[in-house]
């Protein structure tokens, strides 16, 4: 248990977690924020333990080109929750993925960073259907977009995706305005 903190003017229990045992795979450490009144999660901050680079690599890397040495630097996740009408809902997620790629026969390695954010701006609880297994991602699936699409201004028109150069707050404002016009 850590010292209590305030989030959105509400007192939170703060629980730190860290690996206690040595296991054959990498573990996470982080903090859990729990609302003192409702005992629901408010925030979860997790980071992958990088002490054993081989274990971290096994968890982070699915595939890579031949000749590249993968060097993990950081894998972290932040999840924020909102408590409404007796139910806790996810409201925000951010993932950070940092690593170096060291090509054989090249003098310097290259640093890479990938960030992924999701903000829940609206939710529906009636007539909700689960995603069929054939339409869902597997833990070994790779998801990527061709960078060429990002240069096409029409790519962003009908998607609920935020341009890489746009701030999250501006994008949310634009999406809310667009949604209110419909």
Q: Classify residue 31 as left (phi > 0), alpha (psi -120 to 50) or beta.
A: beta
Q: pLDDT digits over 98-143, tens only?
A: 999 988 878 888 899 988 888 888 888 788 888 888 777 776 666 5
Q: What is the mean pLDDT of the chain?
A: 85
Q: How far apart are CA 15 and CA 65, in angstroms?
A: 40
How far is it, in rounded angstroms, from Cα 153 to Cα 136?
Answer: 28
pTM of the model: 0.74
Task: Write phi, then psi, for 149 (nearest 5 degrees).
Answer: -65, -30
DSSP state of 62: S
Average of pLDDT values for 50-77?
92
Beta strands 87-103 and 110-119: pairing type? antiparallel
How far is the C-alpha of 41 from the C-alpha of 99, rounded, in Å? 30
Instruction: With beta carbons less than 8 A apart as the criterion, state whether 35 and 26 touch.
Output: no
Cα-Cα-Cα-Cα dihedral sign, residues 158, 160, 162, 168: positive
Q: What percentage of residues in the chain have a pLDDT greater than 90?
A: 48
Output the pLDDT for position 122.
80
């Amino acid at each position: 248990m850590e010292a209590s903190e305030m989030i959105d003017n509400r007192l939170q229990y703060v629980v730190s977690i860290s690996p206690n045992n040595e296991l054959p795979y990498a573990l996470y450490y982080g903090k859990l924020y729990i609302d003192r009144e409702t005992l629901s999660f408010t925030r979860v901050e997790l980071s992958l333990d990088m002490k054993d680079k081989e274990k971290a690599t096994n968890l982070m890397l699915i595939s890579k080109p031949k000749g590249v040495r993968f060097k993990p630097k950081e894998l972290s996740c932040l999840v924020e929750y909102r408590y409404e009408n007796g139910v806790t809902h996810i409201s925000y997620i951010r993932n950070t993925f940092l690593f170096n790629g060291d090509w054989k026969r090249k003098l310097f390695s290259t640093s890479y960073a990938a960030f992924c954010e999701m903000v829940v701006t609206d939710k529906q609880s009636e007539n909700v259907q689960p995603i069929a297994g054939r339409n869902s991602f597997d833990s070994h699936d790779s998801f990527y977009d061709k960078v060429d699409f990002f240069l096409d201004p029409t790519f962003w028109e009908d998607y609920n995706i935020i341009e890489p150069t746009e701030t999250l707050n501006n994008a949310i404002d634009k999406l809310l305005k667009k949604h209110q016009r419909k």
